[in-house]
């Protein structure tokens, strides 16, 4: 309670929510995009087809965007109250980051069983526990320890810490929307109001070959790297090999 009083309740909750959303972005970027170890609902019966996995992965990322946005709004409202400890901003962010991974392990991995950290492992529980300790309990524990101390650095450092949190969320969101440099295929979501003919013309103009299209998500392949700049100029909202943000934007247009 003393730590929250020093930082202000709004700033404390803002940092918690931002840390929580960064935990979700971290999982989405590393496990869904880079390592490609699982989807959100990989172990749920009846959701084995790709388009369904795309949709539910997109809803997950949409939730992380909303939580991060709420945290950023609270941080904006609390900008005049950041004269407290910079250390406490970092502490609350670490607690939120650890809370996401703890909740994900307990709820998603064990209680609901909708996915595991590494599905093809001979011992998935070991991966679940290691991930929980390293990215859940450890950051949260460090955050709790930091709340027991105050650096007394004043408002300037508090403002810089807040700006750093904003940058971290922005980087996470932008990275989640990127396709790997060596990829020759991508999922494309076009802006609302474009008809099928306009979207198809944009795909053809980019030199791409259509693989499939469903619910506003266009899977396209090129002979070289996806020409993202041209597609954005022709009306694309997103060009990415990640199912998460593509599903998110597609759902938003339904």
Global pTM reads: 0.59
Tens digit of each residue's pLDDT (9 = 90 or more) over 67-78 = 988 998 888 787
Q: Are the C-beta atoms of 107 and 60 separated by less than 8 Å?
A: no
Please give the Cα distance from 193 to 182 (Å, whole number).
Answer: 31
Token digits for 35? 């390592």
Average pLDDT of the residues of the chain: 76
How far, in whole angstroms, is CA 254 from its chain's centroid? 21
185-252 fold: Alpha-Beta Plaits (3.30.70)
Whether 31 contacts 217, CB under 8 Å: no
Residue 24 in this model has a pLDDT that exceeds 60: yes
Half-sphere exposure of 134 (CA within 13 A, CB side): 8
Could you tell me which residue, 45 or 110, shows the higher pLDDT?
A: 110
pLDDT, one tens digit per residue, over 165-188 is: 556 656 655 555 554 444 577 778
Residues of the chain with CATH 3.30.70: 185-252
CA–CA separation, 62 and 248 (whole Å): 5
Helices (H), the chain: 2-7, 9-27, 50-77, 86-103, 124-132, 138-147, 155-176, 196-205, 228-233, 243-252
């Amino acid at each position: 309670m003393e730590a929250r009083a020093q930082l202000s309740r709004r700033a404390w909750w803002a940092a918690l929510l931002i840390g929580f959303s960064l935990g979700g972005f971290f999982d989405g970027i590393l496990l869904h995009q880079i390592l490609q170890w699982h989807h959100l609902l990989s172990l749920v019966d009846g959701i084995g087809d790709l388009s369904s996995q795309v949709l539910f992965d997109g809803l997950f990322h949409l939730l992380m965007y909303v939580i991060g946005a709420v945290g950023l709004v609270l941080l904006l409202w609390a900008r005049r109250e950041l004269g407290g400890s910079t250390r406490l901003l970092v502490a609350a962010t670490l607690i939120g980051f650890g809370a996401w991974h703890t909740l994900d392990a307990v709820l998603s991995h064990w209680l609901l069983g909708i996915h595991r950290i590494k599905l093809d492992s001979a011992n998935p529980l070991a991966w679940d526990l290691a991930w929980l300790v390293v990215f859940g309990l450890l950051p949260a524990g460090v955050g709790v320890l930091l709340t027991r101390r105050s650096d007394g650095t004043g408002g300037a450092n508090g403002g810089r810490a807040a700006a750093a949190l904003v940058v971290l969320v922005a980087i996470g969101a932008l990275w989640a929307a990127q396709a790997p440099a060596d990829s020759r295929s991508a999922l494309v979501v076009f802006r609302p109001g474009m008809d099928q003919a306009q979207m198809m013309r944009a795909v053809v103009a980019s030199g791409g070959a259509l693989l499939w299209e469903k619910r506003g998500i266009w899977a396209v392949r090129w002979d070289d790297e996806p020409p993202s700049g041209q597609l954005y100029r022709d009306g694309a909202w997103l060009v990415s090999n990640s199912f998460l943000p593509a599903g998110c934007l597609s759902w938003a247009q339904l």
